[in-house]
Protein backbone atom coordinates (compact mmCIF):
# COMPACT_ATOMS: atom_id res chain seq x y z
CA UNK A 1 0.00 0.00 0.00
CA UNK A 2 1.42 3.38 -0.98
CA UNK A 3 0.63 6.45 1.11
CA UNK A 4 0.35 9.82 -0.63
CA UNK A 5 0.17 13.11 1.28
CA UNK A 6 -1.67 16.09 -0.17
CA UNK A 7 0.79 18.79 -1.30
CA UNK A 8 -1.13 21.38 0.75
CA UNK A 9 -2.95 20.50 3.96
CA UNK A 10 -3.23 21.32 7.64
CA UNK A 11 -3.06 24.64 9.44
CA UNK A 12 -3.61 27.58 7.12
CA UNK A 13 -1.68 30.70 7.97
CA UNK A 14 -4.77 32.27 9.65
CA UNK A 15 -5.16 29.40 12.10
CA UNK A 16 -1.40 29.03 12.63
CA UNK A 17 -1.20 32.75 13.46
CA UNK A 18 -4.13 32.48 15.92
CA UNK A 19 -2.63 29.46 17.70
CA UNK A 20 0.83 31.11 17.80
CA UNK A 21 -0.64 34.27 19.34
CA UNK A 22 -2.44 32.22 22.00
CA UNK A 23 0.71 30.23 22.79
CA UNK A 24 2.70 33.47 23.11
CA UNK A 25 0.09 34.87 25.52
CA UNK A 26 0.22 31.68 27.60
CA UNK A 27 4.03 31.77 27.65
CA UNK A 28 3.87 35.34 29.00
CA UNK A 29 1.62 34.05 31.79
CA UNK A 30 -1.37 36.09 30.64
CA UNK A 31 -4.81 34.93 31.70
CA UNK A 32 -6.95 34.97 28.59
CA UNK A 33 -10.47 33.91 27.69
CA UNK A 34 -11.07 33.18 24.01
CA UNK A 35 -14.51 34.04 22.67
CA UNK A 36 -15.22 30.60 21.21
CA UNK A 37 -12.71 27.92 20.27
CA UNK A 38 -9.49 29.25 18.71
CA UNK A 39 -9.74 26.57 16.04
CA UNK A 40 -12.30 23.88 15.34
CA UNK A 41 -10.05 21.16 16.64
CA UNK A 42 -10.61 19.63 20.09
CA UNK A 43 -7.00 18.45 20.49
CA UNK A 44 -5.60 21.97 19.96
CA UNK A 45 -8.23 23.48 22.26
CA UNK A 46 -7.32 20.97 25.00
CA UNK A 47 -3.62 21.80 24.65
CA UNK A 48 -4.34 25.52 24.98
CA UNK A 49 -6.65 24.99 27.97
CA UNK A 50 -3.83 23.10 29.69
CA UNK A 51 -1.70 26.26 29.40
CA UNK A 52 -4.36 28.45 31.01
CA UNK A 53 -6.27 29.72 27.98
CA UNK A 54 -9.98 29.50 28.87
CA UNK A 55 -12.81 29.30 26.34
CA UNK A 56 -16.14 31.11 26.56
CA UNK A 57 -18.33 29.09 24.22
CA UNK A 58 -20.98 31.82 24.01
CA UNK A 59 -18.51 33.94 21.95
CA UNK A 60 -19.55 36.97 24.04
CA UNK A 61 -17.90 38.72 26.99
CA UNK A 62 -20.76 37.69 29.31
CA UNK A 63 -19.36 35.96 32.38
CA UNK A 64 -15.70 36.45 31.38
CA UNK A 65 -13.53 36.79 34.51
CA UNK A 66 -10.11 37.45 32.91
CA UNK A 67 -8.98 40.98 32.01
CA UNK A 68 -7.96 39.88 28.51
CA UNK A 69 -10.19 38.35 25.86
CA UNK A 70 -9.13 36.91 22.51
CA UNK A 71 -11.13 37.08 19.31
CA UNK A 72 -10.66 33.90 17.33
CA UNK A 73 -9.65 33.59 13.65
CA UNK A 74 -13.36 33.31 12.78
CA UNK A 75 -13.99 36.83 14.10
CA UNK A 76 -16.99 38.25 15.96
CA UNK A 77 -19.81 40.64 15.15
CA UNK A 78 -19.77 44.40 15.63
CA UNK A 79 -21.76 44.36 18.91
CA UNK A 80 -19.24 41.99 20.52
CA UNK A 81 -16.38 44.32 19.50
CA UNK A 82 -18.33 47.22 21.05
CA UNK A 83 -18.93 45.22 24.28
CA UNK A 84 -15.19 44.47 24.52
CA UNK A 85 -14.35 48.17 24.16
CA UNK A 86 -17.07 49.42 26.50
CA UNK A 87 -16.20 46.96 29.25
CA UNK A 88 -12.49 47.80 29.02
CA UNK A 89 -11.06 44.38 28.23
CA UNK A 90 -7.56 44.04 26.80
CA UNK A 91 -7.97 42.27 23.51
CA UNK A 92 -5.91 39.89 21.43
CA UNK A 93 -7.50 39.99 17.98
CA UNK A 94 -6.61 36.95 15.87
CA UNK A 95 -9.35 37.51 13.28
CA UNK A 96 -8.04 36.07 10.02
CA UNK A 97 -7.44 38.68 7.33
CA UNK A 98 -9.80 36.86 4.93
CA UNK A 99 -12.57 36.92 7.53
CA UNK A 100 -11.86 40.59 8.26
CA UNK A 101 -12.18 41.29 4.52
CA UNK A 102 -15.57 39.55 4.51
CA UNK A 103 -16.69 41.60 7.54
CA UNK A 104 -15.63 44.83 5.79
CA UNK A 105 -17.48 43.80 2.63
CA UNK A 106 -20.64 43.09 4.63
CA UNK A 107 -20.47 46.45 6.41
CA UNK A 108 -19.72 48.40 3.20
CA UNK A 109 -22.57 46.75 1.32
CA UNK A 110 -25.02 47.41 4.15
CA UNK A 111 -23.88 51.05 4.46
CA UNK A 112 -24.48 51.51 0.72
CA UNK A 113 -28.06 50.30 1.03
CA UNK A 114 -27.65 46.71 -0.14
CA UNK A 115 -29.36 43.81 1.58
CA UNK A 116 -26.55 41.33 2.22
CA UNK A 117 -27.03 37.67 1.39
CA UNK A 118 -24.38 35.46 2.96
CA UNK A 119 -24.06 32.02 1.37
CA UNK A 120 -23.00 29.92 4.34
CA UNK A 121 -23.82 27.78 7.33
CA UNK A 122 -25.94 29.91 9.71
CA UNK A 123 -24.55 28.05 12.74
CA UNK A 124 -20.89 28.66 11.81
CA UNK A 125 -19.10 31.25 14.00
CA UNK A 126 -17.54 33.05 11.01
CA UNK A 127 -20.95 33.43 9.36
CA UNK A 128 -22.60 34.57 12.59
CA UNK A 129 -19.81 37.12 13.03
CA UNK A 130 -20.10 38.43 9.45
CA UNK A 131 -23.88 38.67 9.85
CA UNK A 132 -23.14 40.89 12.84
CA UNK A 133 -21.50 43.44 10.47
CA UNK A 134 -24.53 43.72 8.17
CA UNK A 135 -26.20 46.45 10.24
CA UNK A 136 -29.43 44.43 10.43
CA UNK A 137 -29.64 44.12 6.63
CA UNK A 138 -28.16 40.61 6.36
CA UNK A 139 -29.56 37.14 5.83
CA UNK A 140 -27.83 33.76 5.67
CA UNK A 141 -28.80 31.27 2.97
CA UNK A 142 -27.25 27.86 3.56
CA UNK A 143 -27.76 26.15 0.23
CA UNK A 144 -27.39 26.94 -3.47
CA UNK A 145 -30.87 25.49 -4.04
CA UNK A 146 -32.08 28.77 -2.45
CA UNK A 147 -34.93 26.96 -0.68
CA UNK A 148 -34.61 29.30 2.31
CA UNK A 149 -34.67 32.52 0.30
CA UNK A 150 -37.61 34.72 1.38
CA UNK A 151 -40.30 35.47 -1.21
CA UNK A 152 -39.68 39.21 -0.91
CA UNK A 153 -36.21 40.51 -1.69
CA UNK A 154 -35.03 44.14 -1.59
CA UNK A 155 -34.04 45.37 -5.06
CA UNK A 156 -30.37 46.02 -4.19
CA UNK A 157 -28.64 42.79 -3.28
CA UNK A 158 -25.09 42.19 -2.14
CA UNK A 159 -23.78 38.62 -2.11
CA UNK A 160 -20.85 37.22 -0.17
CA UNK A 161 -19.92 33.72 0.91
CA UNK A 162 -18.51 31.86 3.87
CA UNK A 163 -14.76 31.99 3.18
CA UNK A 164 -14.40 28.22 3.06
CA UNK A 165 -16.92 27.50 0.30
CA UNK A 166 -15.66 26.21 -3.04
CA UNK A 167 -15.60 28.63 -6.00
CA UNK A 168 -17.88 26.22 -7.88
CA UNK A 169 -20.58 26.30 -5.22
CA UNK A 170 -20.39 30.08 -4.86
CA UNK A 171 -20.68 30.53 -8.64
CA UNK A 172 -23.67 28.17 -8.69
CA UNK A 173 -25.28 30.07 -5.83
CA UNK A 174 -25.00 33.38 -7.67
CA UNK A 175 -26.18 31.84 -10.96
CA UNK A 176 -29.25 30.34 -9.27
CA UNK A 177 -30.02 33.63 -7.54
CA UNK A 178 -29.97 35.46 -10.87
CA UNK A 179 -31.95 32.76 -12.66
CA UNK A 180 -34.70 32.65 -10.03
CA UNK A 181 -34.96 36.28 -8.89
CA UNK A 182 -33.70 38.53 -11.67
CA UNK A 183 -37.20 40.07 -11.92
CA UNK A 184 -36.90 41.37 -8.32
CA UNK A 185 -33.30 42.59 -8.46
CA UNK A 186 -32.31 45.95 -9.94
CA UNK A 187 -28.70 45.86 -8.78
CA UNK A 188 -26.54 43.02 -7.57
CA UNK A 189 -23.04 43.30 -6.17
CA UNK A 190 -21.06 40.09 -5.72
CA UNK A 191 -17.96 40.24 -3.53
CA UNK A 192 -15.62 37.28 -3.70
CA UNK A 193 -14.33 36.72 -0.17
CA UNK A 194 -13.31 33.09 -0.64
CA UNK A 195 -10.13 32.12 1.13
CA UNK A 196 -7.03 31.31 -0.99
CA UNK A 197 -5.72 28.91 1.61
CA UNK A 198 -8.86 26.85 1.44
CA UNK A 199 -9.10 26.79 -2.35
CA UNK A 200 -5.44 25.72 -2.57
CA UNK A 201 -6.08 22.85 -0.15
CA UNK A 202 -9.22 21.92 -2.07
CA UNK A 203 -7.24 21.80 -5.34
CA UNK A 204 -4.59 19.64 -3.67
CA UNK A 205 -7.25 17.23 -2.41
CA UNK A 206 -8.94 17.10 -5.82
CA UNK A 207 -5.59 16.32 -7.52
CA UNK A 208 -4.78 13.69 -4.92
CA UNK A 209 -8.19 12.09 -5.46
CA UNK A 210 -7.10 11.40 -9.07
CA UNK A 211 -4.17 9.31 -7.82
CA UNK A 212 -5.64 7.29 -4.96
CA UNK A 213 -8.37 4.72 -4.39
CA UNK A 214 -8.90 5.52 -0.71
CA UNK A 215 -8.76 8.90 1.03
CA UNK A 216 -8.34 9.66 4.72
CA UNK A 217 -9.31 13.23 5.63
CA UNK A 218 -7.98 14.36 9.01
CA UNK A 219 -9.62 17.09 11.05
CA UNK A 220 -12.18 18.03 13.68
CA UNK A 221 -15.63 16.59 13.01
CA UNK A 222 -16.91 20.13 13.65
CA UNK A 223 -14.55 21.67 11.07
CA UNK A 224 -16.43 22.95 8.02
CA UNK A 225 -13.38 23.10 5.77
CA UNK A 226 -12.37 19.54 6.67
CA UNK A 227 -15.86 18.30 5.84
CA UNK A 228 -15.66 20.12 2.50
CA UNK A 229 -12.46 18.24 1.65
CA UNK A 230 -14.16 14.92 2.42
CA UNK A 231 -17.10 15.92 0.18
CA UNK A 232 -14.72 16.88 -2.64
CA UNK A 233 -12.93 13.55 -2.43
CA UNK A 234 -16.22 11.61 -2.46
CA UNK A 235 -17.43 13.71 -5.41
CA UNK A 236 -14.38 12.38 -7.28
CA UNK A 237 -15.63 8.84 -6.66
CA UNK A 238 -13.01 7.97 -4.05
CA UNK A 239 -13.91 5.96 -0.94
CA UNK A 240 -13.35 8.52 1.81
CA UNK A 241 -13.23 8.55 5.60
CA UNK A 242 -13.10 11.64 7.82
CA UNK A 243 -11.26 11.02 11.09
CA UNK A 244 -10.31 13.33 13.92
CA UNK A 245 -7.60 11.14 15.43
CA UNK A 246 -5.58 8.05 14.49
CA UNK A 247 -7.65 5.96 16.94
CA UNK A 248 -10.66 6.22 14.61
CA UNK A 249 -8.92 4.37 11.74
CA UNK A 250 -10.27 0.85 11.08
CA UNK A 251 -8.02 -1.79 9.53
CA UNK A 252 -10.84 -3.09 7.29
CA UNK A 253 -11.06 0.23 5.42
CA UNK A 254 -7.65 -0.43 3.86
CA UNK A 255 -8.21 -3.98 2.61
CA UNK A 256 -7.84 -4.23 -1.16
CA UNK A 257 -6.56 -0.66 -1.54
CA UNK A 258 -3.19 0.19 -3.04
CA UNK A 259 -2.99 3.96 -3.04
CA UNK A 260 -4.12 5.78 0.08
CA UNK A 261 -4.30 9.56 0.22
CA UNK A 262 -3.98 11.60 3.40
CA UNK A 263 -5.25 15.16 3.48
CA UNK A 264 -6.34 17.51 6.24
CA UNK A 265 -8.39 20.64 6.82
CA UNK A 266 -7.04 24.08 7.64
CA UNK A 267 -7.70 23.66 11.36
CA UNK A 268 -5.83 20.35 11.69
CA UNK A 269 -2.51 20.47 13.59
CA UNK A 270 0.62 18.77 12.20
CA UNK A 271 0.72 16.33 15.13
CA UNK A 272 -2.74 14.92 14.21
CA UNK A 273 -1.76 14.50 10.54
CA UNK A 274 1.53 12.80 11.44
CA UNK A 275 -0.20 10.45 13.91
CA UNK A 276 -2.74 9.39 11.27
CA UNK A 277 -0.07 8.93 8.56
CA UNK A 278 2.02 6.85 10.97
CA UNK A 279 -0.95 4.64 11.85
CA UNK A 280 -1.75 4.13 8.14
CA UNK A 281 1.88 3.08 7.59
CA UNK A 282 1.59 0.59 10.49
CA UNK A 283 -1.59 -0.87 8.99
CA UNK A 284 0.18 -1.11 5.62
CA UNK A 285 3.10 -2.99 7.21
CA UNK A 286 0.69 -5.35 9.01
CA UNK A 287 -1.13 -6.07 5.75
CA UNK A 288 2.16 -6.74 3.93
CA UNK A 289 3.19 -9.11 6.73
CA UNK A 290 -0.23 -10.80 6.56
CA UNK A 291 -1.00 -10.02 10.21
Which chain residues interact with ligand SF4 by CB under 6 A?
A: 12-15, 73, 96, 98-99, 163-164, 195, 197-198, 225, 266
Beta carbon of residue 209, minimum distance to ligand SF4 (angstroms, whole number): 20
Beta carbon of residue 213, minimum distance to ligand SF4 (angstroms, whole number): 28
Name the residue nearer to ligand SF4 (CB basis): 161 or 240: 161
Q: Return the residue nearest ligand SF4 (CB atom).
A: 14
CB 19 within 8 A of CB 226: no
Q: What is the Cα Rg of the chain in Å? A: 21
Name the residue nearer to ligand SF4 (CB basis): 164 or 246: 164
Name the residue nearer to ligand SF4 (CB basis): 105 or 195: 195
- Please report, for residues 41, 100, 124, 158, 258, the alpha-carbon distance to residue 19 in angstroms, rounded to integers and kept in the order given: 11, 17, 19, 33, 36
Rounded Cα gap, residues 208 and 263, in angstroms: 9
49 tagged catalytic: no
Name the residue nearer to ligand SF4 (CB basis): 238 or 266: 266
Beta carbon of residue 21, minimum distance to ligand SF4 (angstroms, whole number): 13
Considering 46, 85, 126, 258, which one is annotated as catalytic? 126
CB 100 within 8 A of CB 126: no
**Sheet-wide strand order for 32-35:** 53-56, 32-35, 68-71, 90-93
Task: Provide the 3-class DSSP secondary structure of residue 176.
Answer: helix
Neighbouring residues of 50: CB distance < 8 A, sequence distance ≥ 6: none
Beta carbon of residue 102, minimum distance to ligand SF4 (angstroms, whole number): 8
Residues labelled catalytic: 126
Amino acid sequence: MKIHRARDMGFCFGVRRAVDMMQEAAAEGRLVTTLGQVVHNPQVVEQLEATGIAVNDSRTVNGVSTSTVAITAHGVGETVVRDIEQQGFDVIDTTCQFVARSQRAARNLAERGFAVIIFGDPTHPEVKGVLGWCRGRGMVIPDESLDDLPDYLPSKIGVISQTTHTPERFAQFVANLMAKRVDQITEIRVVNVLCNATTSQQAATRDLAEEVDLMIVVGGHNSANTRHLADLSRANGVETYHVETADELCNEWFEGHEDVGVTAGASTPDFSIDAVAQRVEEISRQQTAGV
